[in-house]
Structure 1
Amino acid sequence: MKLSRNTELEPGGVGYAKNRCIEQSSGEYLCFLDSDDVMKPERIEKQLKAASQYKDAIIGCQFSRHPYNSTLRYTRWANSLPPEKLEVQVLTSHGPTVIMPTWFCHRSVYDRVGGFTEVRKSHPEDLVFFYKHLDLGGHIRRVDEVLLIYRYHPGAMTFGISEKTIWSLRVKRLEENFILNWKSFYIWNAGKQGRQLYRSISEISRKKVKGFCDVDARKITQGYYTFEAEKQIPRPKIPIVHFNDGEPPFVICVKLVRFFLG
């Protein structure tokens, strides 16, 4: 066993710790596990089999939670997301479609990405890695068996990451991978989340927004949303229309998990 010591006065952060551990390892495959979680005895066997077949993929697995009733909707979403959605439904607030403590991959996956970002505090290094992996043509697979017990507690590092930081990463990816290639689009949701998205995207992207779509008669009757943060006078007024009157592409700003779970 190799031991290392951080000579800095402050901790280097989660990404720093993972990078140092991997640098000291020599195996062909990498198996991640948080110190407060428990993996089943057959986990390595099952995921190694999948990783041997898909050497360009991050292999996840299903998990159970402890305590049992922790984050029920999130757990169902992560465990039940269809395989074809693992590389598609990547802009939700849930983060990576396979959770970091279940990751298993060939070492070349890590090397190709270049490791985890090293930020001392409150940084979603797993989401940054996940996005870069996809951008480089990597794939996502999941072993559909419960191979990990994922422990929930308020002091977990996950809860130290601000929603604003994660939101900014998601919006950046949305703009760079989709909006940049569109001439115009509609935002599906004239409510809080749709308006938050409009305010968050760049000025160039805002000029491509043809309007908001909704089903709420009150919002549609209102007719438009005024962008109060804009300095120019008169301030932009973005139309609000019924979804039947909109046209693709749409950016859908609703909690899909409600519909996904039936």
Structure 2
Amino acid sequence: MLNGIIYPPIEEKPGPMQQRSCSLMPGEMAEGERRPDVSIIIPTYNAEAWLDECLKSVVEQDFDGTLELSIYNDASKDSSAEIIEAWRTRLDERGICVVVGGHHSAQPRGVGFAKNRAILQSTGRYLCFLDSDDVMMSPRVRMQYTAAVQQPQSIIGCQVRREPAGSTERYTRWVNGLKPEQLLTQVFTSHGPTAIMPTWFCSREWFCHVGQFVEDGKGAPEDLLFFYEHLRKGGKVHRVDECLLQYRYHEQAATHAVSEDTIWTHRVRFLEERVLLHWPSFTIWNAGKQGRKLYRSLSPASRQKVVAFCDVDENKISKGYYTYQESEEKPKPQIPVHHFKDAKPPFVVCVKLDLTGGGFEDNLNSLKLQEGADYYHFN
């Protein structure tokens, strides 16, 4: 028990891969021993190409508190285990306690499972998440720890640098450019959590209050679902406005295994729960493909609240309305299509940002509306 929280038991007994350089069983502390200030949580699977650089960045942290490194090896078939062991002495010399767990199953159990096990075997008061293919800048733990102490119910993120340079430029601009208030208003977009998972830092107490990551295996958006639950329980989001992480883009990344349809479904339901439930009516901004898809994806109760679509495309506006046949038994509703200047808020905006040379943004700003009250982005 820590701070009144009872930690859930580890479902499996520690296997032969699970070792702790401090000669303690995972999750245990010797009598009178002080818990580490921060546990760095690394799930890993076939990460031999990146682990050296990742672990080097752990050693180079300039944090003057106590650090623990907790790695869970999710059935890697490459040399990841050997690389981790090769770094153990250097980490120990730096004063970083090392906990290594894992399993030898034929198949990996998934990122959510590996993260949960890395947390369960760790003991730090704060959790710093790090993917095995990413690299931390030396001030990361120090700066995010300071912010987390001041904001105990927040997920703390940071700005990132994409590797290779130039990949996912629009996404990177979004991650780094969100205003503080947009960290809570733009949580419905296709980009995912407004503080991206590899930058997360939070207290163990708050993590346990929210709950564990889902363990549905490959294709599960465990970070998005945890983020939504964090918000449901009153959690906040804060970003340290310094570039503290090199965030690698490559085709083997676990995020590519999550289908767009899965993400879309979770986003729609969260939008309905958090926003549409409380609006008596609303307009969908975009009479094109994305706007119509959102309309069809809504529950019947939410669809009944849609009073119009709006757009700038005269071809769409000239048609007058959008018709959707829900079933043969029900009549076709005819939803008017207006020019955006003639439409009434609140809006659910289904136009992607940063794609029109500022044209859409200028149109939206011309209405002098308040994000989070008069409109939300769903793009």
Question: So what's the TM-score if we normalise by structure 2?
Answer: 0.66
1:243-262 correspondence to structure 2 within 5 Å: 243-258=340-355, 259=358
CA distance in 1, matches of 2:305, 2:348: 12
Query: 1:10-46 CA deviation, whole Å, 9 max, x = no partner?
Result: 4221111101110011100000000011111111111
SS at match of 2:184: coil
Unaligned runs of 5+ in 2: 1-19, 21-98, 363-379
Query: 1:190-226 CA deviation, whole Å, 9 max, x = no partner?
Result: 0011000001001111111111111211111101111
Q: Which residue of 2 aligns with 1:224?
A: 321
CA distance in 2, matches of 1:193, 1:144: 32
Amino acid paired to 1:252:
V
Q: Which residue of 2 aligns with 1:33?
A: 130
How large is the Cα RMSD of the aligned pairs? 1.7
Q: Which residue of 1 aligns with 2:117?
A: 20
Query: 1:135-183 CA deviation, whole Å, 9 max, x = no partner?
Result: 1111111111111111110111111110001111110011111111222
Higher helix share: 1
1:103-118 correspondence to structure 2 within 5 Å: 103-118=200-215
Cα deviation, residue 256, structure 1: 2.2
Runs in 1 of length 4+ with deviation above 6 angstroms?
none
Stretch deviating more after TM superposition (9-18 or 224-233): 224-233
CA distance in 1, matches of 2:240, 2:279: 35
CA distance in 2, matches of 1:182, 1:50: 34
CA distance in 1, matches of 2:248, 2:239: 19
1:224-243 correspondence to structure 2 within 5 Å: 224-232=321-329, 234-243=331-340
**Higher-RCO chain (CA-CA 8 Å, sequence separation at least 6):** 1
Q: Which residue of 2 aligns with 1:82?
A: 179
1:159 matches 2:256:
yes
Query: 1:101-150 CA deviation, whole Å, 9 max, x = no partner?
Result: 11111111210111111111101111111111111111111111111111
CA contact 2:325–2:331 (8 Å) conserved in 1: no
Amino acid paired to 1:81:
L
Cα deviation, residue 236, structure 1: 2.0
Match of 2:191 among 78, 81, 94: 94
CA distance in 2, matches of 1:209, 1:142: 34
In our comparison, the structure showing a higher alpha carbon Rg is 2
1:45 matches 2:137:
no
Cα deviation, residue 48, structure 1: 0.7
CA contact 2:283–2:345 (8 Å) conserved in 1: yes
CA distance in 2, matches of 1:175, 1:185: 12
SS at match of 2:160: strand
1:201 matches 2:298:
yes
1:190 matches 2:297:
no
Cα deviation, residue 234, structure 1: 4.1
Stretch deviating more after TM superposition (3-12 or 29-38): 3-12
CA distance in 2, matches of 1:135, 1:247: 29
CA contact 1:77–1:261 (8 Å) conserved in 2: no
Amino acid paired to 2:101:
S
Cα deviation, residue 67, structure 1: 0.7
Amino acid paired to 1:76:
R
CA distance in 2, matches of 1:35, 1:154: 15
Match of 2:218 among 121, 124, 129: 121
SS at match of 1:83: coil
Query: 1:51-73 CA deviation, whole Å, 9 max, x = no partner?
Result: 11111111111110111111111
The 1:182–1:207 alpha-carbon spacing in structure 2 relative to 1, beyond 3 Å, is same
Q: How many residues align?
A: 262
Cα deviation, residue 3, structure 1: 3.5
SS at match of 2:188: coil
SS at match of 1:121: coil
Unaligned runs of 5+ in 1: none
Question: So what's the TM-score if we normalise by structure 1?
Answer: 0.95
CA distance in 1, matches of 2:305, 2:177: 35
Stretch deviating more after TM superposition (245-254 or 138-147): 245-254
CA contact 1:65–1:150 (8 Å) conserved in 2: yes
Cα deviation, residue 232, structure 1: 3.1
Q: Percent identity?
A: 57
SS at match of 1:21: helix
CA contact 1:6–1:12 (8 Å) conserved in 2: no
Amino acid paired to 1:239:
P
